[in-house]
A and B are shown apart, each in its own frame.
Chain A
Amino acid sequence: MERSFREEVGKLRLGDGEVFHGEGILAVTKALLQSGVAYVGGYQGAPVSHVMDVLNDARDILDELGVHVETNASEAGAAAMLGASINYPLRGAVAFKSTVGTNVASDALSNLASAGVKGGALIVLGEDYGEGSSIIQERSHAFAMKSQIWLLDPRPNLPKIVEMVERGFELSEASSTPVMLELRIRACHVHGSFVTRANRRPAHSKNDRLSEPDFDYGRICLPPATYAQEKHKIEVRWPAAVAFIREHRLNETFDGDLGHVGILCQGGLYNATVRALQLLGLADAFGASRVPIYCMNVTYPLVPDELVAFCAGKQAVLMIEEGQPAYIEDALLATLRRHDANAVRAHGKDLLPLAGEYTGEVVLNGVAAFLESAGIGTSGAVGQLLSAKKRAAELLGGAVPARPPGFCVGCPERPVFAAMRIAGRELGAFHVSADIGCHTFATLPPFNLGNTVLGYGLGLASNSAMQPMFGRRTVTVMGDGGFWHNGLTSGIANAVFNKDDGILVIMKNGYSSATGAQELPSSPQHSEPKADVAIERALEGIGVGWMRTVDNYRVGAVAQTLKEAMTTDYQGLKVIVAEGECQLERQRRLRPQVAERLAKGQRNVRVRYGVDEDTCSGDHSCIRLSGCPTLTVKDNPDPLRSDPVATVIDGCVGCGLCGENAHAATLCPSFYRAEVIQNPRAWDRLVAGMGRSVRRLLS
């Protein structure tokens, strides 16, 4: 696994009145235990991968409490697990990335929300929106509204987040409704502190098991129960939730002396709002603001009388709501109208951008524009703050090249795309349906491979109508993560059943690598001592008749296999299992082994690649087939030539792609492989000496 939490899990044991220091997502985990959860699950994905990583490292603590932990097969599986809270007073929580994970989970979530819950059910959403996001830009808010799941969006500091986790369970039980806790990327990773309470042992758990199964047709999602459930949601659960939120003051009002104006904001944007007011001279370091603020730690459902009370008597208010559509702003406008509070001007997306992340700069601009429009001068503070940007643009003279994430040094997926490029030269270009995973980076330069991305594990399914439309065969890429998530059924079974004639490349790197190298059913650790064949057996079982396994690093052979798949007479799905262990994991395993060998004085061969600077022509076609961070350029040492030459820098793990590419694409003779023999034996010295003597004699 990418990150070990062995040291940090000790913090999960902290008792009453102690101080926890650490990351937001770890604090959420502690809060779950303080709330007495009986079971926890989830599916990895930034920014909440660490919830599952922490729990997996904290098995002994959880066993003591009797808490069941499950790494679910997908977000759908995680959401379905919450079904345990429908009939029984069990508190449960699951975590996944949103909105993509929520999309996958939505079937189960709808059913869960309709049936309603007895035990508190909490869904922790890692809202992957804005800077650093790796997914489509949408809001989780829509899911809350369509299924009537309450949505918490706490102020992003640890005490408030923890409080909202605890209150979230209470709200869930008070209104028989599951609750979502939305945490933005930075809030998941925020480092802070809070005062802890002792963990609560759940009433029913693995240590104190249930005995009587509960049957209640009213909880079944079939008519006529569903009709009653819908009514119950609106007539009972919703009012109960609003009452709970009001009574326990989950939303906060901060007064200020400029009473004729006010700002409403999502809890998650409170700090950005206060910072904007600080920069405009209207708030102090502790958040005491001259402009009143209504901070919505619960963004669904809204509490209409609180909204009206805050806005009434004011000339103007500003709603700061991130993302689109502007559900909250629209609801605010409707609420004010409905309550005849028509004197107040309600601003929002007219002064703030309609779409995109609300960064510090965006909120600052919006708040300043609002205050100006309300006649509160800000003496050009914004212009002054933003002037450095203009000056920098002049000084730099042009846009700075982007540096998106890409394949790691020695990544086993890179050679497969190099092979695809090489095969494409001969075969002509082909359509590539991409999938979600590290391999999605192939869509970026230098490969630019992958014409569509439709979702995790859905690569092959997304190719279903593509394959019959093309004169030549099409290629789909799927990772082993996507394979187990749903690709096996939605993609492969479907393709076999429908007699698809395309080519599927499965990247078998052994882990769910992009999310932090979590284990999969086919991970090496899960296999018997012999080579893992779980994927291959599944493919056979499902009826795939053409299957080849290739060693990724043998680029020529991979290209050849692709050509064979393209040209074979076999009609039906052709699967190429591209085998190569995630290099990060491999190095994590190898590094200590090598260090130990060296320390013991044992022989070790360290392989590195290099480029002869005097034969490199500076064309960089090798880089266009690689993009490896350690294959880069340097000034041309030749005084007569100016284009930079290729060079291999420290960090090269000797994966061999450079040499394989040079051969497979007939690039140039500049690459060399150097084998440095550490702790050499006498024989090594003898051979090296002979070579040296001959060279000395003849040069």
Chain B
Amino acid sequence: MSMPQRPTTILIAALGGEGGGVMADWLVDAASRSGFPVQSTSIPGVAQRTGATTYYLEIYPVPRETLGGREPVMSLTPTPGNVDVMVASELLEAARAMQSGYVSPERTTFVASTHRVYATLEKMQMGDGRFDGARALEGARQLAKRPVLFDMRELALANGTVINAVLFGAMAGSGALPLSREACEAAIRAGGRGADASLRGFAAGFGIAASAAAGGATAPGERRAPVRPGARSPLDAQQVIEHGVERLKEYQGDAYADLFLQRVNSVGTSDAALLAETARQLAVWMSYDDIIRVADLKTRATRFERVRREVGAQGDEPVVVVDYLKPGVEEVASLLPPFAGRRLVAWAQRRGKLDAYNVGMHLKTSGVAGYLVMRGLALLRRWRPHSHRYAEEQQLIERWLGDVREAATRSVPLALEIARCARLLKGYGDTHRRGRASFVGILDALVENPPMADAAAQAAAIRAACEAALADPEGQALSRQLGKKVIWLNPGATAAGATRSRA
């Protein structure tokens, strides 16, 4: 027989704790059983169970006894364009493999799971910092010689096993390995512990990849491919308004929902996008998260069901739910009548005691007493329109709405940017204060007293400021953008922030 010029090369990109090393061992074992020379190596790095890691294998697919004592020379590192089977246990790692040139149209069978495990850099952003998974998936389909792409984590969970078994199965099923199914399964069996579950996962992955390789329908997982984050098909204006009405009825009653409709109508625009965005921001804002709202949401029957589901409670296992609340001066003030609330906040601000009196509470909401306390708070709903916070929010809403309205007569894109600014208002406590300061700062500096006359330039400036406000929690980017400091923290801490920026 003629000898192959080179070994079959397999590169595995995995995350710590996913069993990449075990998978490499299976491959070594299966190749050895087949009598083939095999070599594996890895960059396991430090012992931590996080971070990206790779395993690299080479199998010379000719029985050793026919080699006449000659040993193939195997490489310890992969070379771009020279990988036969690229395996990625997650979509971002799949993208990384492509970026490094390990997926080539001439050579590579690309076995990758399409689920996402977000990296710290993606998830720590104040807005949406997620990598565009749909683009990576589309790229993988185009770039690979043979793409085998589906959600292998889901399949692993369904089979009560770890993702490495499914990946191994998909690899074997794709036909790209010079190893028989029997050899692979024997290797798993020899691995011992958890072999039955691994074999189930292997079979599941094998089936999907084999049917795709046989030219069958697209792998089922492809249908479940992730949509582009944040790009859910947008609701049209009518749908937004319907959602809004429903939400505000539930929040404060019919009259409040009517107020919402009046406000939406007052924008008086014929532009559907502007209308939808304004209505969306307005509905979210009008249903602002105060202690009453939180108490209401936390005491709904659906919530306890959701918690049971999320924590994986089995059968009739009791689940005790403990909530972490830490109300302080602002929360108390928000419930008081406007004049009293204003004075309390002003007093606390003057003395720098806004965060001084927060009381940390561990409330057992699933129990009788805890539930009664929470439910009682939720019942304050009727009082809400008479509260300080309500007055403050409505005042700012009117101001913003007036700005949107006024801008709409000049330029729809400008009005749209102003409407979008409301996304800065979110959260509780310090987060809320920071967002509100950014928002008001932008209204003051760029919406109501713009340094430019051109509507397009103004819209661009507002957009940039909004992005800057979401760029860092210290408000440094926004301060640079606006040319002045946005202050919401106590002065000492702000100075600290400035020190950091110099460091």
Contacts and interface: CB of A to CB of B under 8 A. Distances in A.
B99 A396 contact: yes
Interface in A643-680: 643-644, 648, 650, 659, 662-663, 665-669, 671-678, 680
Given A132-B43, A633-B130, A635-B229, A617 B81 contact: no
Given A187-B76, A627-B124, A640-B244, A663 B49 contact: no
Nearest to B230: A642
A677 B320 contact: yes
B42 A189 contact: yes
Contacts of A384: 81, 106
Interface in B140-154: 142-143
Contacts of B299: 695, 698-699
B119 A134 contact: no
Contacts of B119: 401-403
Contacts of A677: 317-320
Contact of A426 (B102, B131, B473, B492): B492
Contacts of A620: 123-126
Contacts of B372: 694, 698
Contact of A402 (B121, B297, B298, B320): B121
Interface in B387-435: 423, 426-432, 435
Contacts of B238: none
Contacts of B81: 384-389
Contacts of B303: 612, 614
Contact of A189 (B44, B74, B93, B95): B44
Contacts of A359: 77, 79
Interface stretch (A199-207, A453-461, A510-518): A510-518
B95 A134 contact: no
B46 A619 contact: no
A284 B492 CA distance: 69
B141 to A, nearest CB: 10
A445 B124 contact: yes
B317 A284 contact: no
Interface string A396-430: 11111111111111000000000000001111110
Interface stretch (A162-170, A271-279, A561-569): A271-279
Interface in B270-323: 280, 283-284, 289, 291, 293-294, 297-301, 303-304, 306-307, 310-314, 316-323
A132 B60 CA distance: 26
Interface in A215-253: none
A269 B209 CA distance: 36
B82 interface: yes
A672 B48 contact: no
B92 interface: yes
Nearest to B60: A285
A469 to B, nearest CB: 13
Nearest to B16: A405
A46 B45 CA distance: 7
B138 to A, nearest CB: 7
Interface string A253-287: 00000000000000000111011101100011111
Interface residues of A, number: 132
B224 interface: no
Interface stretch (A34-42, A64-72, A137-145, A685-693): A685-693
Contacts, number: 414
Nearest to B77: A360
A640 B247 contact: yes
Interface stretch (B2-10, B171-179, B454-462, B476-484): B2-10
B122 interface: yes
A663 B427 contact: no
A385 to B, nearest CB: 3
Interface string A593-630: 00000000000001010101111011111011001010
A389 B128 contact: no
A667 B326 CA distance: 9
B122 to A, nearest CB: 6
A46 B124 contact: no
A88 to B, nearest CB: 37
A192 interface: yes
Contacts of A687: 318, 367
Contact of A643 (B101, B127, B366, B495): B127
A473 interface: no
Nearest to B493: A425
B323 A446 contact: no
A659 B74 CA distance: 51
Contacts of B500: 429
B26 to A, nearest CB: 12
B492 A428 contact: yes
Given A409-B49, A685-B318, A687-B367, A393 B99 contact: yes
A574 B74 CA distance: 55
B159 interface: no
Contact of A279 (B79, B318, B427, B435): B79
A586 B113 CA distance: 31
Contacts of B5: 278, 284-285
Contact of B46 (A134, A270, A641): A134
A529 to B, nearest CB: 28
A671 B127 CA distance: 19
A535 interface: no
B477 to A, nearest CB: 15
Contact of B473 (A584, A617, A624): A624
Contacts of B92: 400-401, 403
Nearest to A625: B124
A612 B318 contact: no
A361 B122 CA distance: 29
B50 A629 contact: yes
A432 to B, nearest CB: 11
Contacts of B128: 642-644
Given A425-B496, A428-B496, A696-B301, A395 B6 contact: no
A615 B244 CA distance: 17
A624 B371 CA distance: 31
Nearest to B136: A396
B467 interface: no
Contacts of A444: 120
A483 interface: no
B117 A632 contact: yes
B340 interface: no
Interface string B88-116: 00001101101111111110100000000
B122 A640 contact: no
A687 B121 CA distance: 43
B50 A386 contact: no
Contacts of A665: 430
A190 interface: yes
Contact of A675 (B32, B71, B291, B319): B319
A2 B47 contact: yes
Given A275-B75, A285-B3, A650-B312, A190 B426 contact: no
Contact of B95 (A396, A407, A613, A629): A396
A513 B46 CA distance: 9
A566 to B, nearest CB: 12
A44 to B, nearest CB: 10
A276 B24 CA distance: 24
A405 B46 contact: yes
A672 B362 CA distance: 9
Given A134-B46, A666-B355, 16 more contacts: A191-B39, A385-B81, A388-B103, A400-B92, A400-B95, A403-B51, A517-B47, A615-B293, A617-B426, A618-B127, A620-B126, A669-B294, A669-B324, A671-B323, A684-B318, A699-B300
29 contacts: A21-B32, A132-B45, A189-B42, A189-B43, A285-B5, A360-B82, A361-B79, A387-B81, A387-B104, A391-B143, A395-B143, A402-B121, A441-B48, A445-B124, A610-B310, A621-B473, A627-B124, A638-B284, A640-B240, A667-B428, A668-B428, A669-B298, A673-B321, A674-B307, A674-B313, A680-B317, A694-B368, A694-B372, A695-B299
Nearest 6 Cβ contacts at the A-B interface: A385-B81, A405-B51, A389-B101, A395-B139, A132-B43, A428-B496
